[in-house]
Structure 1
Amino acid sequence: MVMTCLDSIWDELRPGETVIIEYSSLLFPAVVFYQALMWASKRNYKIIIDDVLDSLYLYKVHLQLAGLSTDIFDSIEIIKEGGVLPVGRVASHLELKQYGVRKVEYERAYKLIMSRTEEKQIVNLVVGAEKLFLISNVRENINTLNLILSYMGDKRKITLYFINKDLLEVSGAYLLPLLEELATTVIRIDKRNERYVVSVAKSINSKLEGVGVPLNQESIGKTF
């Protein structure tokens, strides 16, 4: 089934979901990220961004070069993990340490933001998570997957993970299947006949099964 805009997909996501958005290294995921950001803003949802190893800076530069405004970042709280290039309102800047320490520090930073959040619904966008898997060992990777799983079902929020599947497959052949298995919705960004298409490969919501949204030139900026 073909939908006309990405908002039609975002609107069907359910509170508590963990959503994986897959893309390859030869595509620009920033535009889909941007449209998810604007959708959450229009719905007056609280937005939190997890920025791993300066991935958000890369997204911001791509959007600016595409001619899109990035002013919205200035009002968003960011949990930054590693990296040296701040974007947005960095609420916490965590160093990349061993998994156990990183987990405790992340949970502390997340709870701090949640404690001062008045909005009933939160959208948490995560960029660069695949880089954590790349620099970790197998045990740490399994622990990270379990941490992702532990946040699933929290009906105050919807979490969107933007995942470079090429990099993830280099990190470990088992990682992408495990992520897809635990995700409640799997969305893929592809390019067909020189046109970007966003499609739903799996969803807990039967209305989204098999849905595809072609992105036209006007909606994604002249660079893309």
Structure 2
Amino acid sequence: MRNGGIEGVLSGLKPGETVLVEHDSVSSPELFLYLLSRWCASAEKPLLIDDFSDTFPEYVARLELMGLDVGPLMEVPVIKIGGRRKFGNVAGRVDLDKYSLDFGYYNRIYQNVVPGELVCNPVLGMHKLFVVLERTALIRLVRNVSTFVGNRSRFALYFINRDVLERVTPELLPLLEEISSTVLMWEANGGEYRLRVVKAANDEILGSTVSLSFKDVAKK
């Protein structure tokens, strides 16, 4: 891995990538979002957050409880998909109609919001839809996600709760892993956080493992 650490993994992501960030229910994925936003600021890459079902305010609340500075995150443009809370710098909103998502309408909002340069696009909480969508709608959702692979205006990172998928729709996780160009595992164990690269479009980061403590996350 060329630069080492979290920064080395993130700098190895390519324009047009769809990246799956798998986490469990107790690994604090908001910390990875925090690290991602900090890296984007240092690398001068714009951020655009897709927020499914008010997941972003949940992340921010937990980061604040950890004593971390969420000010920069509150300035990031957010496209809200479902949910009711007006939170952060909301740049557009997509309603969910009978638990379906109109990707055509989303694309129109995205085109109006996305800057004219490569954007880092974290997608938070999409797994919440998997609990309520019917099977045909789920397959359609996965198919629509796959159409974004190769969209060189961005590289997207889909934060997915692996515990939810394995219990509710276990067959979808392999499908999401298959369509994703890179798969990252965010894990926590005994006060240590770990990022593993188990699939990658960039061979330089494939197989990389980065371990860090909360002090490593919090330091500026």
Give the TM-score band, short-chain normalised: over 0.9
Amino-acid identity (%): 30
Between the aligned partners of 1:61 and 1:211, the Cα distance in structure 2 is: 30
Give per-residue Cα distances to partners, 1:25-82, cap 9 Å, x unaligned: 1220111111111111222222110001110011001111111111112321111011
Aligned position for 2:169: 172
Q: Does 1:214 align with 2:211?
A: yes
Between the aligned partners of 1:109 and 1:55, the Cα distance in structure 2 is: 19
Pairwise CA distance, 1:216: 2.1
The 5 Å alignment of 1:119-130 reads 120-130=117-127
Q: Kindly tell me: are residues 101 and 194 of structure 1, through their superposed partners in 2, closer, same or farther at Cα, counting changes over 3 Å?
A: closer
Aligned position for 1:17: 17
* TM-score when normalising by structure 1: 0.91
Between the aligned partners of 2:147 and 2:204, the Cα distance in structure 1 is: 26
Pairwise CA distance, 1:135: 1.3
* 8 Å CA contact retained: 2:26, 2:188: no
Q: Does 1:183 align with 2:183?
A: no
Aligned position for 1:59: 59
Between the aligned partners of 1:102 and 1:199, the Cα distance in structure 2 is: 33
Q: Does 1:45 align with 2:45?
A: yes
RMSD (Å) for aligned C-alpha atoms: 2.0
Between the aligned partners of 1:128 and 1:101, the Cα distance in structure 2 is: 14
Structure 2, unaligned runs of 5 or more: none
* 8 Å CA contact retained: 2:194, 2:211: yes
* TM-score when normalising by structure 2: 0.92
SS in 2 for 1:6: helix
Q: Kindly tell me: are residues 194 and 47 of structure 1, through their superposed partners in 2, closer, same or farther at Cα, counting changes over 3 Å?
A: closer
Pairwise CA distance, 1:105: 2.0
Aligned length: 219
Aligned position for 2:74: 74
- Aligned with residue 144 of structure 1, among 141, 144, 149: 141
Give per-residue Cα distances to partners, 1:145-188, cap 9 Å, x unaligned: 11111111011211011110111223311110000011111000
* 8 Å CA contact retained: 1:47, 1:124: yes
Q: Does 1:200 align with 2:160?
A: no
Aligned position for 2:155: 158
